A and B are shown apart, each in its own frame.
Chain A
Amino acid sequence: MTDAPESSLDPVLRQWHDMGGLPAGPVDPAEHDYALWEKRVDALMVLTTGKGLFTVDGLRRVLEDMGEESFAAMTYYERWIHAVNRNLIEAGAYTTEELARKLAEVRARGEDYGACSLDRGDG
């Protein structure tokens, strides 16, 4: 399927995420349960938007701006943490310098998620 009949809009302006009605393959019924780090991403989104730092529309805007390549190459919550982070930077919650410092500190702790995420009872 392509555009609806007699569409007057220039298809070049259609954004990648706006996919209703486009051709696609069969639905893949496979499912997975969420890992702890994914649930934490979800919780960070729910809590920071709940406190008014940004909105779900801000999250969607960044996900859309990340482009179709990210939709193909990254998992759902991988995309989400990037979009949450960018909205928090935009909101002034922390600076890019603070983030860079923290990322280096996290990576220096070990090889895998369990070693790098200090257990402080947050989930």
Chain B
Amino acid sequence: MPHDHPHEHLSPSGHPYRPDQDGPLTAAQALEIAVRELLIEKGVLTAREIADAIARMDARSPAAGARVVARAWTDPAFKARLLADASAAAREMGCDIDALRLIAVENDETTHNVVVCTLCSCYPRNLLGLPPDWYKQRAYRSRVVAEPRKVLAEFGLELPAHVRIRVHDSTADMRYFVLPARPAGTEGWDEERLAALVTRDCMIGVAVPQAPK
């Protein structure tokens, strides 16, 4: 790809691609090609399986989580099932959950939840897609367990003094997502309109859905 126009380095979602993908072959890229071809030649994997896995990954996005949240906001019985067994409730809505063990943690008037993985970068990818870069980096992983209020403030979220924070460190087999509180002023909205308020960051817990103006 020519390097003469900066916008050509942005993806459809407006984020830059890694700068090395159109440069000279890197050691890691060579290794990826070699491992992939060896596995295909040995009969461990097929090219089709790899393509299908990527298609499944591409199909996962925070929109799935947002639909689940909007359903929980409008259907108390569904919300009860979600809090009891989030994997089963998400599957009920047709989400591609696989064997993922999902726990929904609920924000309310007095509690705010935020999710991290200090040891690596465990993330509810089946529900939210792949994690943002900052979720995998040192600053967030190190600090959010010790100074969550400072970290949330860096994301622009200042919590009222009476709200207690629950930080969830994903240390083993569970994956967490936040069920945010439904904003005031959305009475009578349908699920689709509600889902549009629920961003990825709301479900990680570094933001809250914004009430309509």
A touching B, CB within 8 angstroms: yes
Q: Which residues of A come within 8 Å of B, CB atoms?
A: 1, 17-44, 46-48, 51, 53, 60, 63, 71, 74-78, 81-82, 84-85, 88, 93-94, 98-99, 102-103, 106-107, 110-118, 120-123
Q: Which residues of B come within 8 Å of A, CB atoms?
A: 11, 13, 15-18, 21-40, 42, 44-45, 47-51, 53-54, 57-58, 116, 118-121, 130, 132-134, 136-143, 145-147, 151, 154-155, 169
Q: For A33, what are the chain B residues with a Cβ–Cβ distance below 8 Å?
A: 11, 13, 15-17
**Cβ contacts A to B, 20 pairs, < 8 Å:** A24-B139, A24-B143, A27-B139, A27-B155, A28-B139, A37-B21, A37-B32, A37-B33, A41-B32, A42-B130, A43-B57, A51-B44, A74-B28, A94-B39, A106-B25, A106-B33, A106-B37, A112-B23, A117-B29, A123-B53
Minimum-distance CB pairs A-B, first 5: A20-B118, A122-B47, A43-B53, A78-B28, A35-B21
Once A27-B151, A33-B11 are accepted as A-B contacts, the answer to whether A40 and B32 lie under 8 Å apart by CB is yes
Which of B36, B45, B57, B142 is packed against the most chain A CB atoms within 10 Å? Answer: B36
Q: For A34, what are the chain B residues with a Cβ–Cβ distance below 8 Å?
A: 18, 130
**B28 contacts A22, C-beta separation under 8 Å:** no
Our pick among A18, A32, A121 for the contact of B133 (Cβ within 8 Å) is A32
Assembly CA distance A37 to B121 (angstroms) = 20
Q: Which residue of A lies closest to B137 (CB)?
A: A28
